Amino acid sequence: MADRSTARLVARLLGLAAAMFLFAVFVMPPLYDVFCEVTGIGGKTGGAARVRDAGVDQSRTIEVQFVATNNGAMPWEFGPRQVELRVHPGEPTRALYYARNPTDRPMVAQAIPSVTPASAARYFNKTECFCFNRQPLGPGEEAELPLVFVVDPELPSAIRTITLSYTLFDVTERSPDLVAKVAAGAAAR
């Protein structure tokens, strides 16, 4: 019954289905990330930025607010050292967060940044950030978490306040390498 032309048609249709599956798994997620990055939506601030030296715009002052949240049942103490900073666009500025692991086991955390308003995200450049790496802490250990950022002078003039928020996620389970390192460090001490 299944003659040659039917067999060829079925092969093509199966190919279409397979292509759509691959599209969903391998194309849509990266495409989504690229789209968010290009448009700056989602409030994601991206990785380390190379800052072009456009000079400091002394005429404007931007209020940068710092917020911290723990995701789900993350037990760490986590917060900003300063509630807000007033900065000029183009001026590299250093800010600090702190974290403490109050539990009796080594843990690893990942901070995910987000900027509000979302339209400011593409003008908020971090040259250095604790969020670029996962952060391991042994039992009872604490750490100062630095970041350095520059607000792009191109920031739309309507924006006067930027809120930078970090959500701290527990990634201990998916970071056995770092857990082992912290545990070894604690044992040596």
Dihedral class, residue 43 (left if φ above 0, else alpha if ψ from -120 to 50, else beta): left
| Residue numbers 102-131 binding another protein by CB under 8 A | 110, 112, 118-119
Cβ 14 to another protein shortest distance, Å: 7
Residue 91 contacts by C-beta under 8 Å, 6 or more apart in sequence?
56, 150, 151
Which strands sit side by side in the sheet containing 135-137, from one edge to the other? 84-87, 62-70, 161-170, 107-116, 135-137
Which strands sit side by side in the sheet containing 142-151, from one edge to the other? 77-80, 93-100, 142-151, 124-129
Question: Looking at 14-22, 51-59, 151-159, 179-187, which segment touches another protein (CB under 8 A)?
Answer: 14-22
Regarding 25 and contact with another protein (CB under 8 A), the answer is yes
138/150 Cα distance (integer angstroms): 32
Nearer of residues 16 and 48 to another protein, judged by Cβ: 16
Q: Which two structure tokens, joined as six digits, stand for 69?
A: 């949240």
Regarding 24 and contact with another protein (CB under 8 A), the answer is yes
Cβ 26 to another protein shortest distance, Å: 9
Regarding 41 and contact with another protein (CB under 8 A), the answer is yes
Q: How many residues does the chain have?
A: 189
Regarding 48 and contact with another protein (CB under 8 A), the answer is no
Regarding 156 and contact with another protein (CB under 8 A), the answer is no
Q: Which two structure tokens, joined as six digits, stand for 146?
A: 């630095």
Regarding 49 and contact with another protein (CB under 8 A), the answer is no
- Count Cα neighbours of 138 within 13 Å in the Cβ-side half-sphere: 11
Q: Quick one: which of 23, 58, 61, 133 contacts another protein (CB under 8 A)?
A: 23
Nearer of residues 41 and 184 to another protein, judged by Cβ: 41
Cβ 87 to another protein shortest distance, Å: 25
**Where on the chain is the footprint of another protein (CB under 8 A)?**
1-3, 5-6, 9-10, 13-14, 16-25, 28-29, 32-33, 36, 39, 41-42, 71-72, 110, 112, 118-119, 167, 169-171, 173-174
